[in-house]
Amino acid sequence: MSTNMPSDLILNNLLYSCEYEKKRGNEQFVPEHTLGFMMAGESHLYTPDIRILAEGAMGLARRNQLVKSVKVPPPGGMFRSISIFLPQDLLRRYSAENNITASGPYTGDSLVSLPKDAFLEGYFNSLLPYFSQPAHFSKALADLKTKEAIELLLQHNYQLKELLFDFNEPHKIDLEAFMLQNYMFNVPVSRFARLTGRSVAGFKRDFEKIFKAPPGQWLTQKRLSEAYYLLKEKGRKPSEVYLDVGFENLSHFSFAFKKTYGVAPSLL
């Protein structure tokens, strides 16, 4: 059925995604503000609270956050979405040129659902031809189109400037709370460090103080104990939980589980 046809097409800062089957997104970190449009099917986003972007929905995701996504095709059809990343340098330039700034650190929702907007929809449709003829999408055009997206977003809702033009890097936040909420995201320690506003060295030191264990070890143990709970108390299956708790492949999950608990996960 699924001959692995190209599912993701990347042009500069544009991403066209299509899937015939329900599929997890592979990236768990949002490096830049991202504007997305669900053309067909829906996206389930875990942050870790679940948010659903239905067919036809548009959303703006703030940069510097962890999100797991599941792409769900419509019945009998194909999942299709377009995303555009809004790079910091372009946003800074736009901010300077138009003298629009955020009034302070952004405190609103990290995933903003945008109400239906004919102009934004028209904009996304204008991007479609480039995915079939990528050669036409020059760097200059990419910049123009990105600028257009920013302009349209501000027209759509001027208050989005608070999100778009917040150029602050993450400040030093409560490490314990953050880790307990985000341990199931499988990203490098350096990523956790940045997101909590620390250097890698500082992160390790603080981490050791709080959890009495190095980050890597604590993470696997935390993930395994969560998996244990899901398997034992909730009666779920290994193949269902290993991704949820932050493992990448089933093979390694089984191995690690058995090493810690002495039993294979399927025997619980």
What residue ranges bind DNA (CB under 7 A)?
186, 188-190, 198-202, 204-205, 208, 214-217, 219-220, 237-239, 247-252, 254-256, 258, 264-267
CB nearer DNA, residue 130 or residue 247 = 247
Nearer to DNA, 65 or 186 (CB): 186
The nearest distance, CB 130 to DNA, in angstroms, is 30
Q: Is residue 168 within 8 Å of 105, Cβ to Cβ?
A: yes
CA proximity to 244, closest of 223, 260, 216: 223
Asked whether the CA dihedral 194, 162, 117, 86 is positive or negative, the reply is negative
In the bound complex, what is the minimum distance in angstroms from residue 43's beta carbon to DNA? 21
Taking the complex as a whole, how short is the minimal distance between the CB of residue 25 and DNA, in angstroms? Answer: 15
Q: Which is nearer to DNA, 53 or 175 (CB)?
A: 175
Output 113 or 251, the one with its CB closest to DNA. Answer: 251
Q: Are strands 23-24 and 58-61 parallel, antiparallel or unpaired?
A: unpaired
Q: Which is nearer to DNA, 119 or 255 (CB)?
A: 255
CA 47 to chain centroid, in Å, comes to 8
**β-strand partners of 10:** 15
CB of 192 to DNA, least distance (A): 8
Provide the 3-class DSSP secondary structure of residue 24.
strand
Q: Are 102 and 59 in contact (CB under 8 A)?
A: no
Residue among 32 and 206 whose Cβ is closer to DNA: 206
Question: Is the bond preceding residue 215 a cis peptide, omega within 30 degrees?
Answer: no
Q: At what angle do helices 88-98 and 139-156 cross, to 10 degrees?
A: 60
Contacts of 5 (CB under 8 A, 6+ apart): none
Other Cβ atoms less than 10 A from the Cβ of 50: the count is 10
Q: Give least dist CB 188 to DNA, A.
A: 4
Q: In the bound complex, what is the minimum distance in angstroms from residue 29's beta carbon to DNA?
A: 13
